[in-house]
Amino acid sequence: MTFYNKVILIGDLAKGPDTRYTPSGVQVTRFALRFESEQGGGETRRLQTVEVVALGRLSKSGKIPLSEGCRVLVEGRIQTRTWKTMEGQKRERLEIIAEKVCPLNDQRP
């Protein structure tokens, strides 16, 4: 069985990018993307936020808009990250691992 893990989102930056480095020197940029999604019959719209992670070359490319509210298209894959807190509690977060980040015109319908 073959699985296909691909997601394409268009939304606004909920917060500006935060760039850090791993202990091995890989640049990692994280930002939150806010978008509306339909629930059920299409009449209920819900504002959602998802964390996006850009690694290595994509993070260094400088193509990620630097200000909150910029409209972007993100293409990537879904990944769940799991870790333990200092108190020993298990935490889990759904993230989008970006393969492409494209700024869009800020002209909204």
47 HSE (CA, 13 A, CB side): 6
If you ran DSSP here, which 8-state letter would residue 103 be given? E
Would you say the C-alpha torsion 6, 17, 46, 85 has a positive or negative sign? positive
Q: What is the pLDDT of residue 108?
A: 52
pLDDT in tens, the chain (109 residues): 888 899 999 999 888 788 889 899 888 989 999 888 776 666 677 788 899 998 887 766 555 666 788 888 999 999 998 989 999 999 998 999 999 988 886 555 4
User: Which residue matches tokens 């691909």?
Assistant: 6
Beta-bridge mates of residue 53 = 30, 97
Give the predicted TM-score (pTM) of the model: 0.76
Q: Is 52 exposed, middle or buried (0-12, 13-18, 19+ CB in 10 A)?
A: buried
Beta strands in the chain (DSSP E): 7-21, 27-39, 44-55, 71-84, 90-103
